[in-house]
Amino acid sequence: MTFPPEARRAAGSAAEERACRHLEGEGFDVVERNVRFQDGEIDVVARRGDLLVFVEVRSREDAAFGSPEDTVGPRKRLRIAAAARRYLSQVSTDTWREARFDVIAIEGTGDSAALRHYPGAFDAKGKIL
pLDDT at 17: 94
pLDDT at 6: 65
What's CA 119's distance to the chain center, in Å?
Answer: 10
Phi, psi (rounded to 5 degrees) for 67:
-80, 155
pLDDT at 65: 78
Which of helix, strand or coil describes residue 65?
Answer: coil
Phi, psi (rounded to 5 degrees) for 7:
-70, -40
Return the ∠ at Cα 81 (arms to 23 and 30), rounded to 5°.
Answer: 20
pLDDT at 100: 97
Q: What is the mean pLDDT of each run of 10 residues along the chain (129 residues)?
A: 61 88 97 94 97 96 84 95 95 92 92 92 88
Structural domains of the chain ordered from first start = 5-118 (3.40.1350.10)
pLDDT at 5: 63
> In this structure, are residues 104 and 115 in contact, taking their beta carbons and an 8 Å threshold?
yes
pLDDT at 123: 93
Those residues whose C-beta lies under 8 Å from the C-beta of residue 71, and which sit 6 or more positions away, are 58, 60
